[in-house]
Chain A
Amino acid sequence: MTDQARAAVERVFKDDCGRILSTLIRISGSFDQAEEAMQEALAAATVSWKAGAVPSNPAAWITTAAHRKLIDAARRRRTHRDREDSLAYELENSAAAEPEDVFVHLPDDRLRLIFTCCHPALSPEGQVALTLRTLGGLTTAEIAKAFLVPEPTLAQRLVRTKRKIQEAGIPYEVPPSHQLAERLAPVRAVLYLIFNEGYVATAGESLVRADLCLEAIRLARVLCELLPNDAENLALLALLLLHDSRREARVRDSMLVTLEEQDRALWNRSQIAEGLALVDRALMRGPVGSYQLQAAIAALHADAARPAETDWRQIAALYERLLVLQPTAVVALNHAVAVALGVGLEQGMAMLDTLGESRELQNYYLFHAARADILSRLKRRDEALAAYRRALAFVQNQVEREFLARRIARLEN
């Protein structure tokens, strides 16, 4: 029973933390009070469920219990400050309803919470930390570990972020429709950032960080569930699922495996199927956006049974459109590589050479690695070797360094 109770509490926290907390924040108007009330309710649940049965709706139980804690806290403050009167009154009245009613009939507050946590007036690292803490239900220690920062630093970051929400008057609201598009962009950026933080990680760190990928996917699902008519939200979820489907195949014996060399049998088929269906839905809905184009590119890779069957020509066309929306050097680099593989090696090589004239890519190892790859396909062995060595000079990650060293060794033989 003890273990059962604890497991039930942990499950509620993992699955419903965002839902419960977002409701408590709306009721109390304070992140800190809401968190405190939830912690107390979770502690009470562990004791109470150990003694009796786990309730049929544990999340409703926690919400109601936390709600009562908020009322108690508001009552305590009421004696000191008049301002709290209306809040306490509201709390008492809303608490009169039956426990199940409170949970079931409350609006889903997670959307407000998402928009508040990802408000562009907050620092990007603050947005990420607060999103994971409140919506993801990760502990401060877990987030600190995932982002390789000391726990006090992360705790401080959360305090600063919550303080700005409170004192600068960032609203706890879903933005009106005319602001929705502008405000959704940072929300998606935060989820993508969380995912990438987990995805670029490699062996050793992999356990904690695969969690970040799963968390980002879970939050993207929530976003799609709450705003299902937004094509870019669907496309973001598709993109994350398609990238993540290759996770098992990307690293072998702590070595990075390129897309071309991956064992495609290790790809997660059900994730790919879901991702492909989402891409179709997103593209049908439109209007076209950068996540749809990126997801469509990922879908073409996922669709190829063998590397040789990859539709590089189509990928090149998609990158060309993406370049219009996102005119960055990295997108231009990917476009050039796709042209080399789908249209003609010489033509792609000429585009790479043009790109190399800008200083921006000169310190970017993937630029040199891409050049080296195309040069070796063109049988220009010496130039390819020189380019791989340049790439080696700018690489930062051990796994990537070993990958380049193997490429050099292969060319030298």
Chain B
Amino acid sequence: MRYMMMIYSQETPEGPPPEEIPGIIARHSSLMDDAAARGVLVAVEGLKTTALATTVRVENGKSLITDGPFAETKEQLAGYYIIDCQNLDEAIEWAKRIPTGCKGGSGCIEIRPVADLPYRP
């Protein structure tokens, strides 16, 4: 089963302390290397700050474009992994290794099973 692991990180204006950045990068690299070596890494991306986010909402055929993320919460989506796992416990083990401080403050990982949609291009 494929699981998406969404990285929610607390955004601070100054971002993570400079001395922590090499560690964060190293942990991501080792995680990606491990998952890729085992052939289970489906996708991984990091996102730029929510200061650059745009929200598009279409209602009754009209679209409303607004600046910023859809919800003003303390922790914001900062990136994701999609990893192919045997079960949730395996996904939890991967998730424990994902650093969450990339946007400044502490954070968490939300794990969701990926739906097998009938149509794929």
Contacts and interface: CB of A to CB of B under 8 A. Distances in A.
Contacts of A175: 89
Contacts of B1: 169
Contacts of B24: none
A261 interface: no
Interface string B50-93: 00000000000000000000000000000000000111110110
Interface residues of B, number: 10
Contact of A173 (B3, B89, B91, B92): B89
B105 interface: no
B113 interface: yes
Interface in A142-180: 167-171, 173, 175, 179
A393 interface: no
B115 to A, nearest CB: 9
Contacts of A185: none
Q: Is the interface of A mostly helix, strand, loop or mixed?
A: loop
B89 A171 contact: yes
Interface in B88-121: 88-89, 91-92, 113
Contacts of A121: 88, 92
B81 to A, nearest CB: 16
Contacts of B89: 170-171, 173, 175, 179
Interface of B: 1, 3, 85-89, 91-92, 113
Given A171-B89, A173-B87, 7 more contacts: A121-B92, A168-B113, A169-B85, A169-B87, A169-B91, A170-B88, A171-B88
22 contacts: A119-B88, A121-B88, A121-B92, A168-B88, A168-B113, A169-B3, A169-B85, A169-B87, A169-B88, A169-B91, A169-B113, A170-B87, A170-B88, A170-B89, A171-B86, A171-B87, A171-B88, A171-B89, A173-B87, A173-B89, A175-B89, A179-B89
